[in-house]
Amino acid sequence: MGIAEGLLLGVVQGLTEFLPVSSSGHLIVAREVLGLQVEYGLAMDAALHLATAAAVCLYFWRDITRLARGAWAREERARTLLGALAVGTVPAAVAGLALGSYIEAYTRGVGVVIFGLIAGSVVMAAAERAFARSAAARSVAQEGEPRVSLRSGVAIGLFQALALFPGMSRSGMTISAGLMFGLSRTEAMRFAFLLSFPIVLGAGLMQT
């Protein structure tokens, strides 16, 4: 891969990573549409995502340090959130280790991406519909740590594991799951991106 191709894919990654549109899926589509003679798999995705992990860490640095201080001080809410992040990371980590080679070999086509984008859109539409009828939609978003239980952390983590398949947006799936489990929009977004940090960083480090 040349420098120009790498820069172009980096731009696609940067423009789509923080939107619920599947950055990995759009990388595959961009390669086909632009006619790039580039072959890459999960390793390339992981390398691009290391920059994402750095961006998440910088943007949420206050949240991360506040969470660490709260957990050290044995604050119940902070420790519960830390536990939810830990258990929420497990499904994607296990699925990635177990299915990574299969996903890399058989799910890198545009057809799979299109299916994933459609399926992800259905999930997000269902989440919006459920959220509109929930009490969370009528509540005022609070600053500070999201109110996430261990149970909902596991459920959101399962949705995150779906994003291993190109076309299924990680942020779209985790935010949707958060809305389904009673979080406000702000809480769902904050938890989704905090949850992204360990799994994205871990995937990047394993592939380097």
Write out pLDDT tens, residues 18-71.
788 888 788 888 878 777 666 555 556 666 767 778 888 898 898 889 888 988
The answer for 206, left when phi > 0, alpha when psi is -120 to 50, beta otherwise, is alpha
Is the pLDDT assigned to residue 10 strictly greater than 80? no
Contact 29, 110 (CB under 8 A): yes
Write out pLDDT tens, residues 79-134.
999 999 999 999 999 998 898 788 877 777 888 899 999 999 999 999 999 888 87
**Residue range 175-185: average pLDDT?**
91
Task: List, in order, residues 6 or more apart from 146 with CB less than 8 Å away.
Answer: 81, 178, 183, 186, 187, 188, 190, 191, 194
pLDDT attached to residue 26: 82
pLDDT attached to residue 205: 75
| Residue range of the domain that includes 36 | 3-207
Contact 199, 92 (CB under 8 A): yes
Reading the block at residue 90, the tokens are 């497990």
Write out pLDDT tens, residues 129-173.
988 887 655 555 455 566 788 999 999 999 999 988 888 999 999
pTM: 0.84
Closest listed residue to residue 28, CA positions, set 90, 91, 108, 132: 108
Distance CA 106, CA 166 (A): 11
Reading the block at residue 83, the tokens are 């536990």
Q: What is the CA radius of gyration of the chain?
A: 17
Is the pLDDT assigned to residue 182 strictly greater than 90? no
Closest listed residue to residue 60, CA positions, set 152, 186, 164, 205: 186
Q: How many structural domains comprise the chain?
A: 1
pLDDT attached to residue 146: 66
Contact 148, 84 (CB under 8 A): yes
Is the pLDDT assigned to residue 177 strictly greater than 90? yes
**E strands within the chain?**
none
